[in-house]
Amino acid sequence: MAQIEPYTIMNQTPLQTATGVPYLVIIQQNTRGMVLKEFVYQGLVFAQLWFGSALPNLNIVLGDQYYARYEQALNHSNRTSHRQLQLIDNEFTLTNYGRMGDFWGTSYLSNRFPSGFSINNIQ
């Protein structure tokens, strides 16, 4: 689990996919009001959703391997908008949007989804 420092775990909810496979949603919030939801299956985070008034430390949230992919996409993008970035490859998908006081994003590893889990469940 990534930690947005200093943080408080607000909720841990066990859920099931459409096929009955159990997974856990952990919701935490830091003192700046940033909320991070992590979707966990068999002890591994497979999806994340963040939103709030400030961007979380994505190096902590994504971890070194996926943060490096994010930085590479950021440095090599031909974006017309500095507010949004989308990175999609065969394993990792990230969408990050932000403007002063309003940030949100998602990241997920679709190859690690539990059976019956849908992208629409990331909300």
Give pTM, 2 decimals. 0.86
| Residue pair 97/105 in contact by the 8 Å Cβ criterion | yes
| Residue pair 99/115 in contact by the 8 Å Cβ criterion | no
pLDDT at 59: 87
pLDDT at 44: 94
Q: d(Cα 115, Cα 88) in Å, to the nearest integer?
A: 21
Q: What is the pLDDT of residues 22-62, one digit of tens each?
A: 999 999 998 888 899 999 999 999 999 999 987 788 888 88
Q: Between these two residues, 18 and 9, which has the higher pLDDT value?
A: 18
Q: What is the pLDDT of residues 62-95, one digit of tens each?
A: 888 889 888 887 777 665 555 777 888 888 999 9
Task: Report CA torsion sign: 46, 63, 85, 74.
Answer: negative
Stretch (H or E) spanning 19: none
Helices then strands, counting H and E runs in the chain, come out as: 1, 7
